[in-house]
Amino acid sequence: MKSAVVVFPGSNRERDMIAALEKIGGARPAVVWHAEAELPKVDLIVVPGGFSYGDYLRSGAIAARAPIMAAIAREAERGVAVLGVCNGFQILCEAGLLPGVLMRNAGLKFICREVELRVETTASQFTSGYAEGQVIRSPVAHGDGNYRADEETLKRLQGEDRIAFRYVGNPNGSIDDIAGILSEKRNILGMMPHPENLIEPLNGGTDGRPLFESALRAVA
């Protein structure tokens, strides 16, 4: 199983993501700089968290127009799995690979703590390792995690079973308590919480592990 982690100027969670993929998948992911036009042939592409371009303009907006994004869009269209976490989720939304937008947290504060998430669907390669309705722990660290979408988009997400995770106790004002969503073809997952930071007991828990295990199993 081959994976790639895409790095932008200002990414800061790529090391955690690389470590998680290597520990769980057994192979070190390729690290791809944002200015590249091509991706290596991989089964999983990850856009990690951070503050690409200092979150100037809008979170993820400038990164979403980087050369590598066209390659990610092409691979996603082919069905390759794409995971965007935190700033990665913002980038995928800004790039139009996922619907909606991440706005400033409703309380205006940067939130850095552990939250609880409910697994809303197991019908994806990222969530099949969980039980439906299972409540898991996950750290969050973001200022712009307030997911918004127009009514029509929200209805589609609900109707097509594309809400992957909801917050138990909404920390940022996200519409319908949404913490993570799937693309139409269900091969792209964007989420604000950081599952890569809870993959071994030393981190304080393993609740993030099934996400990577199921994604890795799906492509193995």
Please report how close the Cβ of residue 209 comes to another protein at its closest, in angstroms: 33
* 70 near another protein, judged by CB under 8 A: no
Site membership for another protein, residue 105 (CB under 8 A) = yes
Would you say 15 or 104 has its CB closer to another protein? Answer: 104
Binding status of residue 106 toward another protein by CB under 8 A? yes
Q: Is 104 in the site for another protein (CB under 8 A)?
A: yes
- Cα–Cα distance between 98 and 163 in angstroms, integer? 12
**Closest C-alpha among 72, 67, 66 to residue 5:** 72
| Long-range contacts (CB closer than 8 Å, 24 or more residues apart) made by 33-37 | 33/7, 33/68, 34/6, 34/7, 34/8, 34/9, 34/63, 34/66, 34/67, 34/68, 35/66, 35/67, 35/68, 36/67, 36/68, 36/71, 37/67, 37/68, 37/70, 37/71
Q: Shortest distance, CB of residue 115 to another protein, whole angstroms? A: 19
Does 146 engage in binding with another protein (CB under 8 A)?
Answer: yes
Site for another protein in 170-189 (CB under 8 A): 173
138, 198 in Cβ contact below 8 A? yes
- Indicate which single residue of 15, 148, 156, 217 sits in contact with another protein (rule: CB under 8 A): 148
- Asked if 160 and 154 count as a contact pair (C-beta separation under 8 A), the reply is no
Tell me whether residue 34 is one of the annotated catalytic residues: no
142 labelled catalytic: no
Q: How many CA atoms lie within 13 A of 139 on its CB side?
A: 15
Q: How many residues bind another protein (CB under 8 A)?
A: 20
Within 15-44, which residues bind another protein (CB under 8 A)?
none
Cβ atoms within 10 A of the Cβ of 10, count?
16
Q: Which of 14, 75, 86, 142 is catalytic?
A: 86
Tell me how far, at minimum, the Cβ of 101 lies from another protein, in Å: 5
CB 157 within 8 A of CB 151: no
The per-type count for the chain, helices as H runs and strands as E runs, is: 5, 11
Of 1, 19, 39, 58, the one binding another protein (CB under 8 A) is 58
Per rule CB under 8 A, is residue 94 in the interface with another protein? yes
- For the annotated catalytic residues, the residue numbers are 86, 194, 196
Residues that bind another protein (CB under 8 A): 57-58, 61-62, 65, 94, 99-101, 103-108, 146, 148-150, 173
